[in-house]
């Protein structure tokens, strides 16, 4: 009798749903951004025979699949490069997560390398072209973007859109368009008033001394070393390097330095980034400078 009761109990307990999986059959690249998969940049690749957690396909055509790579978070890769098992949804049918102002884990301070922006765009008249570095934005982040993505365009809190000292903000972000765009896309998720958000951006920017780089190739390790040298509070895990952000511009080039990102905790102290973009070659990153600059 006891044996039958035990068996009935086991049969009555629902089994946990098995996570969908993707097993790599080809050594294909993977990236946080779909558009990077078609670039010639050096990207990390799948390990043949390794099984990854499968999260979603990009569309019902199932050309690309979003997988979870240990240590790197969620990444896109080609669906043809492996075999999938289990029930996998489609990104265009998944309900987007609503993000709440002030509910995030840390910040990334994105800093654009101006010479590359101006060279790629073939436009040297913009205000930032006279500077080596400007702030692109201050981005609230989650420790793990797999489930929620990134905090973007939150519902604005009452009275959050207050006055700012535009002349002061222009000292590190010389573009009215960029100021408005970064507040709408990222600042609204900070839980701060607009003036507080840009004051914090300036405060973090002022803690950094950024190097003058030469026109040549660097390795990622070498570049980070040049950033750390005048900023002893940083280490390599706190720095993210991004390449090929300007590839849509007519004079863009592959594996060129476009920006760096420094991670800070919510109190403004530098911290290790929990996820690193892998858009640059580790050994060959081209830094271009403006002639006569």
Q: Could you confirm whether 182 is annotated as catalytic?
A: yes
Q: Which position among 30, 99, 116, 182 bears the catalytic label? A: 182
Burial code of 68-91, b = ≥16 C-beta within 10 A, e = fewer?
A: bbeebbbbbbebebbebeeebeeb
Q: Which helix (H) or strand (E) holds 3?
A: helix 2-12
CA dist 171 and 180 (Å) reads 15
Contact 94, 166 (CB under 8 A): no
Exactly one of 30, 186, 276, 277 is catalytic; name it: 186
Q: Who's near 55: CB < 8 A, 6+ residues apart?
A: 20, 65, 66, 67, 68, 74, 88, 146
Identify whether 98 is a catalytic site residue: no
The verdict on whether 237 is a catalytic residue reads no
Marked catalytic residue, from 30, 36, 99, 136: 136
The structure tokens 């993707």 sit at: 22
Contact 63, 79 (CB under 8 A): yes
Active site (catalytic) residues = 136, 182, 186
């Amino acid at each position: 009798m006891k044996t039958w009761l035990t068996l009935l109990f086991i049969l009555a307990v629902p089994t946990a749903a098995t996570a969908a999986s993707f097993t790599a059959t080809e050594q294909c690249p993977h990236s946080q951004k779909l558009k990077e998969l078609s670039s010639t940049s050096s990207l990390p690749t799948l390990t043949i025979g390794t099984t990854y957690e499968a999260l979603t396909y990009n569309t019902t055509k199932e050309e690309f699949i979003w997988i979870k790579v240990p240590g790197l978070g969620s990444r896109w890769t080609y669906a043809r490069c492996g075999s999938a098992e289990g029930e996998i949804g489609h990104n265009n049918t998944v309900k987007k997560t609503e993000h709440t102002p002030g509910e995030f884990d840390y910040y990334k301070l994105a800093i654009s390398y101006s010479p590359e922006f101006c060279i790629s765009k073939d436009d040297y008249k913009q205000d930032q072209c006279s500077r080596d570095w400007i702030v692109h934005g201050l981005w609230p982040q989650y420790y793990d973007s797999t489930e929620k993505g990134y905090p973007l365009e939150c519902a604005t809190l009452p009275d959050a859109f207050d006055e700012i000292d535009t002349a002061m903000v222009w000292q590190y972000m010389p573009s009215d368009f960029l100021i408005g765009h970064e507040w709408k896309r990222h600042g609204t998720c900070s839980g701060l008033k607009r003036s507080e958000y840009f004051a914090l951006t300036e405060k973090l920017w002022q803690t950094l001394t950024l190097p003058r780089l030469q026109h040549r190739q660097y390795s990622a390790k070498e570049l980070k070393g040049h950033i750390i040298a005048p900023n002893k509070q940083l280490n390599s895990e706190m720095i993210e390097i991004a390449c090929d952000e300007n590839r849509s511009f007519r004079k863009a080039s592959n594996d060129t330095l476009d920006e760096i990102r420094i991670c800070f905790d919510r109190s403004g102290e530098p911290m290790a980034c929990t996820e690193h973009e892998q858009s640059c070659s580790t050994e060959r990153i081209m830094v271009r400078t403006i002639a006569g600059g």
